[in-house]
Chains A and B, each alone.
Chain A
Amino acid sequence: GENVEQHPSTLSVQEGDSAVIKCTYSDSASNYFPWYKQELGKRPQLIIDIRSNVGEKKDQRIAVTLNKTAKHFSLHITETQPEDSAVYFCAASPPVDTGRRALTFGSGTRLQVQP
């Protein structure tokens, strides 16, 4: 089955700096890669996702890049703010027509933005 590795496990940055979280996946058939943000005591929330036919996607201060050849994808947060402090999870999923639709999550990155 799919295996997703996520690094780093913790990340501390100064407000205004950029943060980068990296994930690698094992199943070359995976074609959907979402990122979730989970604040303390709250549910994970989808913040951005990318499909395998796209190399990069941006949404304001966040962006995700995908390298299918190397089987890795990254989350980039620019101009970080204290409210970006949370645990971020990457995930990967195989194509919907394989019957294996479940998302496999990385282990999470705790991002702390220091004011």
Chain B
Amino acid sequence: KAGVTQTPRYLIKTRGQQVTLSCSPISGHRSVSWYQQTPGQGLQFLFEYFSETQRNKGNFPGRFSGRQFSNSRSEMNVSTLELGDSALYLCASSLESPGGHYGYTFGSGTRLTVV
């Protein structure tokens, strides 16, 4: 089956611009989480969506936002880009279980460079 698909793979933006990243989860996975990966800070949690609702949010400024559609696809948006937003943005989907977690499956990420 198809994995988690993230588009675009690479993006170069200018400071002050905004950007939208897309994530299509594995078919049947309704939970989608977003992480920012940088060499210095590792994997930092941005937010998690389930059935079009944001269930959890990390400690990022309001410039970072997201949403999930009825087909479970998710987008994240970063407004007023700063140089420090340059990072690999990873999306992960997981299967819900009343009994507990299943592991995340990550996409290949979108590498955002802000110049």
Instruction: Give residues in A with beta carbon < 8 Å to B.
Output: 31-32, 34, 36, 42-46, 49, 51, 89, 93, 95-96, 99-108
Contact = CB atoms under 8 A, between A and B. Distances in A.
26 contacts: A34-B101, A34-B104, A36-B106, A42-B108, A43-B90, A43-B108, A44-B90, A44-B106, A46-B103, A46-B104, A49-B101, A89-B42, A89-B43, A95-B100, A96-B97, A96-B100, A96-B101, A100-B56, A101-B48, A101-B55, A101-B56, A102-B48, A102-B56, A107-B42, A108-B42, A108-B43
A53 B56 CA distance: 25
Considering the complex of A and B, which 8 residue pairs feature the smallest CB-CB distances, nearest first?
A: A46-B103, A105-B43, A32-B101, A43-B106, A107-B42, A102-B56, A102-B45, A44-B106
Contacts of A106: 42
A7 to B, nearest CB: 13
B51 interface: no
Nearest to A6: B42
A103 B35 CA distance: 10
A9 B21 CA distance: 30
Contacts of B56: 99-102
Contact of A32 (B45, B90, B100, B105): B100
A102 B45 CA distance: 7
A45 B58 CA distance: 22
B93 to A, nearest CB: 12
Contacts of A107: 42
